[in-house]
Amino acid sequence: MTASYSGDAHNQATTSAPVIVTVNPAQVLMVPVCGPSSLVSGNSYGCIAALVYDLGLVNGTLTYSLDGAPTVQVPVDFGLALFAINKPSVGTHHLVINFPAQGNFAAAAPQTETFTVTKSK
């Protein structure tokens, strides 16, 4: 970037030396709240993730993967992403939630949630 002055009757025209301006993506904080940590078979496991940065709320796309399966995309609107795992199978599950770098936002640290589904009585 440079600045230029066109001059006037008392001062000559001049241009500044170039200045390099680096704009880094905004750092994103992701805070998921999921639950319940233990549920009975036939119920769903739900999550809400809040995503913020220094100046406000994030928009974009969050992804999650259940037990290493292919990722699922979830829209982030006004800093919130909502999703549910519909009737997961019996056993212990690991859910990895990511907000990859996109647009003006840096990637958020991935979060792993663990929950257990038990047989119904």
Q: Which pLDDT value is given to residue 59?
A: 93
d(CA 98, CA 95) in angstroms, rounded, equals 10
Which DSSP letter does residue 24 get?
P
C-alpha–C-alpha distance, residues 12 and 5, integer Å: 8
pLDDT one-digit tens code per residue, 11-68: 899 998 899 988 889 999 999 999 999 999 999 999 999 999 998 899 999 999 999 9
HSE of 77, CA atoms in CB hemisphere, 13 A: 4
Residue 22: predicted pLDDT = 87
d(CA 106, CA 113): 21
Is 75 within 8 Å of 81 (Cβ atoms)?
Answer: yes
pTM, to two decimals: 0.81
